[in-house]
Amino acid sequence: MDTTTPPPDYSLTMDQCWGLLGTEVVGRVALIVDSHPEIFPVNFVLERRTIVFRTSGGTKLWGAITGKPVAFEIDGYDANDESAWSVMARGEAGLIESQEEKDAADALLLEPWQPGEKAYYVRVAPKALTGRRFKVNRPDVWTTRLTDPRRNSFE
């Protein structure tokens, strides 16, 4: 007889994932470059249940137009309920070429953080969107790094 307790389900619903995506402005896009993964921070907006960011010519642009799968990830910590969370989107990226669609992203205040021209708009259309939230362990305030965000909740 199996008496073990199944682990709790910390999964987020799709709507919860979209809600968390909507609270952040910076995420990480993962691309396959020369047969290996590379991860880049990008600022982004949500537009029609897709993730949109701007870039200059280079690796992120190449990753968007090669048709290879991409992933996009954000995470965070909520000090109010002492929980951490993570959301990951997997799908395909494509170049936005329509000025109307670029204007729609700009209307959502998609403004690059890094200096320089970011003339290319990239849309990540998730085919899968998953997330999880979990309670964090209480930090040992004597040994936990001073920069650990959990400390504020418990001090």
Taking only the tens place, the pLDDT of each residue in 1-58 is 556 665 566 899 999 999 999 999 999 999 988 888 999 999 999 999 999 999 998 8
Alpha-carbon distance 25 to 35, whole Å? 29
Percent of the chain with pLDDT over 70: 86
Q: Is 37 helix (H, G, I), strand (E, B) or coil?
A: strand
**Of residues 56, 27, 21, 37, the one with CA closest to residue 129:** 21
| Global confidence as pTM | 0.83
98 vs 22, 43, 101, 104, CA distance in Å? 23, 20, 5, 10
Quick one: pLDDT at residue 154? 61
Percent of the chain with pLDDT over 90: 59
83-96/120-135 β-pairing: antiparallel
Region label for 49, one of left (φ > 0), alpha (ψ between -120 and 50) or beta (otherwise): left
